[in-house]
Structure formats: structure tokens, C-alpha cells
Structure 1
Amino acid sequence: MSLPVMPANATPPDRVLVFSRTVGFRHESIPVAVRTLVQLAESMGLVADATEDASAFTPENLARYRVVIFASTTGNVLDATQQRAMEAFVRGGGGFVGVHAAADTGYDWPWYGALVGAYFQDHPPGLQHSRVQPERDGVAAGAAWPVHDEFYNYDRNPRGRVQVIATLDERLYEGGRMGADHPIAWHHAYDGGRAWYTGLGHTAAIFAQPEFLAQLRRGLAYASGRADAG
């Protein structure tokens, strides 16, 4: 039986790199997060690779990818040379997706902090219940949905520097410190590329929640240039 042959002029599928190296705290949900992100990318017609090897961050290797996903990375996961490769990737039009502890990464790398939009500051102890309110252009868009997860407080409110696409209701849980406007997912054009981030994703269970999967799908669509709204 002959194998199918791709036409010579066919465009190869976009590739996604899922990166989950940790230097600080390591989330138990990382294997589920990586598996889910790979499956989600592939369901969108993207080819996905997963690694925890920072040596993948070279200009030559990153040129193979359309999107790089930081899946609950923590600490200083890239050295100076690898950081420059990531910067060049974004400046060349590459997309970035950050999930949960991607905001707990690269504190010595100001460019990255601006890419993500805000750094993790702290979180209330334990898992709690709240609601996520989707929004578009600063206005509620669609029904709020319930969430049970770990909720980050950030070092600043990113609104004004990014396009917020979802907020968290601090009235429903203890320990929120951002007030009535608590962004939990956002996107923006940055330094020639596109960046999208969600603060959700601490638990393995949330990666089976349809609303969260839809949010991640929107993030991949935005970062890969398939949609203009994240």
C-alpha cells in the first residue's frame, strides 16, 4: 500500500512547542496540562511537540514553530542566550501562550514580564470557587461560568497594557487582593508577535472543563494568528 504524498507546493502545518520546565514550584497538573494542550493543538490542525529541555530555545529550532506555550513553568527557565532566541522568535511574528504559572517565571527578564502582562505575586491558600466573566472591549460578553482552582493575585493590573478577555469574581472567595477588577485572562500584540495568557490551570481537573478548554482554544487561535480576538 502506498503512503500519501504531500504535494510539492503544499504548506506544512503550523507547529506548536509546549514547554513545561520548572526551576521553582512544580505543579502536579503539568502532565495533564501538557497532554491536553498537545491534543487541543492537534485538534486544530497544528503539529505539537512537548519538551522540558531549554536547549530547544535556539533561533534555528524556534523557526520551526508558530506558537510557543509556557505550561506552568516556574523560575528562571531560560539562560541569557535562550532568552534572546525567544525574543527573536516573537519579534519575527511568533505567538506565545502562557498558562497559570507562566506568570511565575522569568522575574529577572523584564521583556518576558511585559510579554506575559503581569507577574504572579501570591495566591490565597488552597482551592476555592469563583466565577469567570468573559468580556470583550471592556464589556461583559456571554455568561459567567463557575471555576474551582487556585487564584493568582498579580503584581499589577495589566488592563490598559493588554486586552482583558476574562475577569474573576473576588466576592465569591477569600484572599483576592486585586479588587473589583481582577483580570484572569488577556491577550495583546507585543514586540512584533502575539501573546495570550490565562491564570487558570492549577488543577488537573480544570483541563477537563469545557469552558476552560474553549478559553485555551481561543488562546491558541489568537497566538497562531487564526483569530484576531483571544
Structure 2
Amino acid sequence: MKSATIILCASLLITTSLAHAEQFNLLLFTKTVEWHHKSINGAVQAIETLGIKHHFGVDWQEDAALINDDNLKNYDAVVFLLTSGDILNSQQEAALQRFIQSGKGFVGIHSASDTEKTWPWYNQLVGHVFKIHPEIQTAQMEVVSRDFPGMEYLPNALLWTDEWYEFGPAQSKNLNYLLTVDENTFAPHAQWGDNIGDGMGKFHPIAWYHTFDGGRAFYTALGHKPIAYQDNAFLQHIYGGIYWAATGKGIPAIQ
């Protein structure tokens, strides 16, 4: 009788645990070796709050040693949040590559495109490489496509204040663009020594997604200012990218 009771209790515990398990797990990675954004702590708190709201696990880490095969098995997607510079060694790079090739997801936010710039595979994963940005300005941002989760919270056009990243050419052939910025509404010129930027012309992308090397990748250039992580529409934009990268869901045409 006792053994039957023990088995029943164990079964109930397992059932309860499964019923409350998060829908997916996220590795939130914020390592920097170059520019360190003041917005990192607030951004982490905002994504942890999204995890509570949408019932997914968030594990915030800055130790690159955790980018290994055994640890990455615990996650459905990796977020490079405001990372910068050359942050991974060759073994860690190989582990991240295998993680994506296994069908998992990647999310890059803001300076993730200014990370690992000498690693071609990573550049293809992110989609574009950061070149330069002008001074922080208000500009008109426009929605290119709504066929992606989270885009329903954004109007067709809106004023937004940020660092408007200028990028080099696309590193992947199948990028699906979500947001652009109108260069007629801000001054795109910037110069850092020999690095000179004059904008990207009529089409200046800000956010996109694509399937890549067996997995999924979403990137948004927004998110320099700490206050952005208190804006509901922006947070839903981020969650849309996280949700799709982690699950592959949210785009009816490919489900």
C-alpha cells in the first residue's frame, strides 16, 4: 500500500512539473569586449519580465565558456543582447554553429551586429555587419512586412529615437525585412577616422529574419537607449523574434 502511495505521489509530482514547465528556454548572453551599453541591465530585466509574462525560461550569462555543446542542449534559442567585439574562441564558435545547425534559434539585438565581425559564418547568421552610426536622432521608421509575430503592435510609420546603424551589404541571400528607417528624416552622415558613413540610400533596413544553416535567426538594430526597454511595442517586437527563433511558430505561411 505504501509503495502504491509513493508511486502515485511521484506521478502527481511529475505531472505537476510538466504542467508548469516553460514553453521554451533561452540563453541570454551579454558579453562585451568593446562598447558596453548602459542599457544592458534594464534590457535583461525587460526580457526576464517577458519570460514571466509569456512563460519561457531566461538564463542570463556573460561567461563565454558556457557556449559549449553540453550547456547549449538546455536551450531552444540564444540571444546576443547588446554584445560587442570578439567574444568567442574557436571552440565556442564551433559550438554555436552546431547549435544552429541542430535546428535551434538565434536572436541578435542592437550591437549583436557589431560582434564577431571577422567570423564569416556569424555575419551570415546575423544578416548584415554594422559599419557606423551617426549621432542619436529621431527619425521615421516604417513597417515593411507584418508577416511576423509582434509586428501587430507597430503602426505603419512611427517616430523613433535611436542610434541608426548603417550596415554593409547583406551577408545572406534570403533575408526577410521587417523594418526600415527613412533617411530623409534624419542626418545619416558619420565619420570615425577613416570609417565614413553616408547612409544606405532609399532602403535602410533595421530589422529582419531568415532561416539559416538549419536554424532560425532574427535581428533588430533597435535598442540602444535604456528607455526603449520600457516601450511595450518594442518589447513585443523583441518577443516576436524570440518566439519565432525558439519555436519556429508565428508565421502562418511556413507552419
- Name the TM-score, length of structure 2 as normaliser: 0.82
| Structure 2 residue aligned with 1:228 | 251
SS at match of 2:111: helix
Does the residue aligned with 2:45 lie in a helix, a strand or coil?
A: helix
1:132 is matched with which residue? 141
C-alpha spacing 1:157/1:114, structure 2 compared with 1 (3 Å): closer
From 170, 178, 181, the equivalent of 2:203 is 181
Aligned mate of 1:200, from 207, 219, 222: 222
* 3-state SS, counterpart of residue 115 of structure 1: helix
- What is the letter of the counterpart of residue 89 of structure 1? F
1:56-67 pair list within 5 angstroms:
56-67=66-77
1:161 aligns with 2:169: no
| Residue equivalent to 1:152 | 165
Whether the 8 Å CA contact 1:169–1:180 is kept in 2: the answer is yes
Match of 1:41 in 2: 51
Q: Counterpart of 1:37 in 2: which secondary structure?
A: helix
Aligned length: 225
User: In structure 1, the residue corresponding to 2:207 is in which secondary structure?
Assistant: strand
Compute the displacement of 1:160 (Å): 4.7
Residue 210 of structure 1, CA deviation: 2.1
Which stretches in structure 2 are left out of the alignment for 5+ residues?
Answer: 1-8, 189-197
Q: Which is worse superposed, 169-178 or 185-194?
A: 169-178
Q: Which amino acid aligns with 2:177?
A: V
Structure with higher Rg: it is 2
- Closer, same or farther: CA 221–172 of 1 in aligned 2, 3 Å: same
Asked if 1:215 is matched to 2:237, the reply is yes
How much has 1:34 moved relative to structure 2?
A: 1.3
Contact (CA 8 Å) 2:175, 2:210: kept in 1 or not? Answer: yes
* Cα distance in 2 between the residues matched to 1:159 and 1:90: 15
| CA deviation after TM superposition for structure 1 residue 6, in Å | 3.7
Query: Which is richer in helix?
Result: 2
2: CA distance, partners of 1:124 / 1:109: 25
CA distance in 1, matches of 2:170, 2:202: 11
Cα deviation for residue 158 of structure 1 reads 6.1
Task: Quote the Cα distance in structure 1 between the aligned partners of 2:125 and 2:229.
Answer: 24
1:83 alignment partner, one of 93, 97, 101: 93
1:57 is matched by which residue type in structure 2?
I
**Secondary structure, in 3 states, of the residue corresponding to 2:144?**
strand
Whether 2:113 is the aligned partner of 1:103: answer yes
Of residues 70-79 and 218-227 in structure 1, the stretch that sits farther from structure 2 once superposed is 218-227
- Rounded to whole Å, the distance in 2 between the matches of 1:75 and 1:92 is 25
- In the superposition, the TM-score normalised over structure 1's length comes to 0.90
Distance 1:26 1:89 in 2: 26
Partner of 1:5: 13
Q: 1:80 is matched by which residue type in structure 2?
A: S
8 A contact 1:57–1:86 mirrored in 2 = yes
CA RMSD of aligned residues (A): 2.3
Residues 137, 163 of structure 1: 8 Å contact kept = no
Quote the residue 1:28 is aligned against: 38
CA–CA distance in 1 between the matches of 2:74 and 2:228? 30
- Between the two proteins, what is the percent identity of the paired residues? 33
